[in-house]
Structure 1
Amino acid sequence: MKLLGIDTSTQTASVAIFENGNILGEMLLNTPLTHSQKLMPMVESLMAQLSLKIKDLDGYYVTTGPGSFTGVRIGVSTVKAFAQAHQKPIVTMSSTALLALGNLQHEGIIVSLLDAKRENVYGGIYRSDGTELETVYEGIATLAEVHQMLETDFSAERILIVGEATSIYPDFFDTMISMWNKNNYLFGKQRHNIINATSFCHLAFETAEHHTYLDITANYMKKSQAERDLK
């Protein structure tokens, strides 16, 4: 079974192709280019290098957000177009969960934080046993609210914090780290903070919930700036 995975929920665009759980190839670009400029060239280049065509694929993985409104929409729309044209199933996952899956080796609590602007984050809190994730929380919150949740509910556990928010709001984390138990809190290195489509390899396609192009929608978690400006 050959599968294509796509994530475009942040500035980074990532695509990967799998066969029977093995990664055949991947491409990742962390550039200011828009996803409309880079996604299809990445897919086409990777498929060409593997001597594959879209019709050869048996299904698709895609993140449905949260994250960049435009980026999420482009990734979801691209996969929906492929699925409609070839009548193949889709498996979806939140972008914060996929980021956590990329750090599955951590046993304990994994906190994925993506920037939602103005010291708000799209946050995911997951419990990992090293092989599977359990979703504890997903939503939009302030950094202070995330800190309160962690201190209230998980202060005795080993916590790994990953995601772009750790570098976007360094002053917050530098200030708050003095209030945390430093033995319990870990922060991901740069490569752990980037969402990578290769992490879909941890999600079994056959047993995951399948969708058609008709029933997947983006999960923005909040209204776009344009929608807010109309009020």
Structure 2
Amino acid sequence: MKLLALETANEQCSVSLIDENQVLFYKLDDRAKAQTQSILPMIEAAFQQAEVHVSDLDAIAFSRGPGSFSGVRINAAVTQALAWSHDVPVIPVSSLQALAQAAYRMYQLTEVTAVLDARMSEVYIASFQLNAQGLMQLVDEEQLLNYENAAAYQKYQMIGSGTKCIHPELNDYSNVQATAEDIATIAREHALKKHWLSADLALPVYLRDNAWKKIPEQGKA
């Protein structure tokens, strides 16, 4: 099994290539908004290092959002282009679930409320618990909420960039960021069970209606 995982849904960009047992390639470019310059060269580097071609992939996993509008769109577009051109299935992964998985990877937290800054005094939020397979699983619904409602929606320890929006005094885990490592970890189980979708369903999830109209209001896309 060969799985390519892509993460550009937020400020940084990362790529991972794995098989059923190990990581064959991983690279992170943490420069803000460098996704469009970085993603394709990083994918090519992954293929070269692992001596793999797109047609050898069993699936392509990607962070489908919610997150930065432009970042989510880049991730979905690159995934769909690669998958469609080589008839490779896709595995969409929630960026909030990946954030929760990162909290487990970095801090061994097993119950978290994942929160991403959505700009405009709002956050993307959902809560997760670790299952027996070591994967974070959703326990409520992904929501786009204002700060007050998000504080009321919180179930567990908050992690992610939205933490300091709601609780400025609690920044212990605000530095948690998901990478392609976390996308790959979640997607591996789906790939082994062949739980995937066709390329035309490599679609972004924004949670915010009319997201494209609000980019100027966000200050950052």
TM normalised by structure 1 equals 0.80
In structure 2, list runs of 5 or more residues that go unmatched: 216-221
Name the CA distance, whole Å, in 2 between partners of 1:218 and 1:225. 11
Judging changes above 3 Å, is the alpha-carbon distance between structure 1 residues 103 and 213 closer, same or farther for their aligned structure 2 residues? Answer: same
Judging changes above 3 Å, is the alpha-carbon distance between structure 1 residues 164 and 174 closer, same or farther for their aligned structure 2 residues? Answer: closer
Determine whether 1:19 maps to 2:19.
Answer: yes
Determine whether 1:196 maps to 2:196.
Answer: no
Partner of 2:144: 140
Question: Which of the pair is proportionally richer in strand?
Answer: 1
Judging changes above 3 Å, is the alpha-carbon distance between structure 1 residues 210 and 45 closer, same or farther for their aligned structure 2 residues? Answer: same
Matches within 5 A, 1:53-202: 53-104=53-104, 105-107=108-110, 109-129=111-131, 131-135=134-138, 136-150=140-154, 154=155, 159-167=156-164, 169=165, 172-174=166-168, 187-188=172-173, 190=175, 193-199=176-182, 200-202=184-186
Name the CA distance, whole Å, in 1 between partners of 2:118 and 2:174. 21
- Is the partner of 1:5 in helix, strand or coil? strand
Instruction: Answer whether contact 2:79 2:202 (CA < 8 A) is retained.
Output: no
Alpha-carbon distance, 1:39 to partner: 0.8
**Pick from 186, 193, 200: which aligns with 1:207?**
193
Find runs of 4+ consecutive structure 1 residues off by over 6 angstroms. none
**Corresponding residue pairs, total:** 208
Greater Rg by CA: 1
Instruction: Answer whether contact 1:63 1:95 (CA < 8 A) is retained.
Output: yes
Alpha-carbon RMSD: 2.3
Alpha-carbon distance, 1:128 to partner: 2.2
One-letter code of the match for 1:160?
Answer: Q
In structure 1, list runs of 5 or more residues that go unmatched: 178-185
Partner of 1:182: none
- Is the partner of 1:174 in helix, strand or coil? coil
Instruction: Answer whether contact 1:67 1:114 (CA < 8 A) is retained.
Output: yes
TM normalised by structure 2 equals 0.84
Deviations 1:57-110 (A, max 9, x none): 221111111111111111111111111111111111110111112223323x31
One-letter code of the match for 1:123?
Answer: I
One-letter code of the match for 2:126?
Answer: G
Name the CA distance, whole Å, in 2 between partners of 1:69 and 1:44. 24
